[in-house]
Amino acid sequence: MDKTLKEADQSYKEGLSQIKTGIFKWSKDYNSAVTYFDDAVRLYTKAGSWEKALKALEQCKICNDKLHEIWGTARNIEAMLNILIEKLESKEFKTIIEYTNEASMLFKGADSHTECIKLKQKVAKYLIQNSQHDEGIKFLESGIEDADSSDKMYNKKEILDYYLEVLVDLGKYSQAISMIKKQFTNPTDSKNRFQTPSYALCIICLCLLEDEALRAESEFNTLCQQIPGFYSAREYEICEAMIKAYNDRDQEEFTALSQKPSVTNLYPSNIPRLLKKKKLKNPQKKPQQQNVQQNQQFSQDQGNLFGQFAQQPNQQENNGQNQDEGNDDLLAGL
């Protein structure tokens, strides 16, 4: 057995001995136990023995809970989740969800809202990657609410953008629009961090992705009144042009607009990708250049032909006039 692993096992045994009672030991020493279990976790981690590290962390959690160490207990659970997600890629989703809920409550109890929000986002991402969409979305929504209630706006943008990305990937465009609009009137956002032309453009793009042109026009009119400085923003022109191209069924113009920097720089980044692939219903076909040239040549040929027909009567008239003059000369000679 590896030396590091032996040392880890020994520390773990010492930790267990501290929480046992007997004839010569009447009370449990949780403080000493935590020290030994922490050392065991460190050594198990170094040896790459993740299952044993998880077991030692569970004992740390129990001891810190007995000591009413809220922060320490929360960090123990967070470390357990990191092993389950990153090292073991566990499919025990129920356990992961329960641990996350417990750690979140403890972090908030310790006034560590930032850690709470980051943990929810991390677990949500893992759940969504493993097709646990509903549970993952719940954690994201909960994290956004935590950011609002704690005024942690610097944490909110990251989790909000990821939440919108997930909704767009799942085709939940209306839900994404509702969440963005909710931020525009959020009373906790005193600085209006989310009332920006970029988020306004996101709303219009999502409406058009869902083939809701009438809604896009309605939302556009509302946004013009709601977003400060929107009229002078480049995004205003893009919104107006995209709605027109969509209504005109101008596929070429719509695709060209989707490749403008104002659109390609949007976040979540899956919106511009989807717009670039968007196929309009019943697009208007523009005549090809070759057909235009053929039509122009045909018109020119027709003009030449009509010109020839117009010249023929004049030629006949001239011929007749010449013949009459010749006859007059002949009579004069007689």
Look at residues 42, 43, 17, 47 and name the one whose alpha carbon lies nearest to residue 30.
17
Question: What is the rounded CA–CA span in Å between residue 44 and residue 118?
Answer: 26
pLDDT of 267 > 80? The answer is yes
DSSP state of 2: -
Q: Which residue in the block uniquely carries the two structure tokens 């009413």?
A: 68
The percent of residues above 70 in pLDDT, for the chain, comes to: 82
Question: What is the rounded CA–CA span in Å between residue 83 and residue 95?
Answer: 13
Buried b (16+ CB within 10 A) or exposed e, 185-220: ebeebeeeebbbbebbbbbbbbbbbbebeebbbebb
- In the numeric block, which tokens belong to residue 151? 């005024």
- Distance from chain centroid for Cα 72: 34
Residue-wise pLDDT for 308-324, tens only, equals: 545 555 555 555 555 55
Sign of the torsion formed by the C-alpha atoms of 247, 252, 255 and 257: negative
What's the whole-number average pLDDT of the chain?
A: 88
Distances (CA, A) of 302 to 291, 305, 308, 312: 16, 5, 10, 16
pLDDT of 173 > 90? The answer is yes
pLDDT of 179 > 50? The answer is yes
Homologous superfamily of the 183-298 domain (CATH)? Tetratricopeptide repeat domain (1.25.40.10)
pLDDT score, position 330: 40
Fill in the amino acid letter for 167.
L
Residue-wise pLDDT for 115-151, tens only, equals: 999 999 999 999 999 999 999 999 999 999 999 888 7
Question: What is the rounded CA–CA span in Å between residue 248 and residue 236?
Answer: 18
Full DSSP string of 119-173: HHHHHHHHHHHTT-HHHHHHHHHHHHHHHHHHT-HHHHHHHHHHHHHHHHHTT-H
Question: What is the rounded CA–CA span in Å between residue 238 and residue 256?
Answer: 11
**Local structure of 88: helix, strand or coil:** coil
Quick one: pLDDT band at residue 72, thresholds 50, 70, 90? very high
pLDDT of 73 > 70? The answer is yes
pLDDT score, position 195: 84
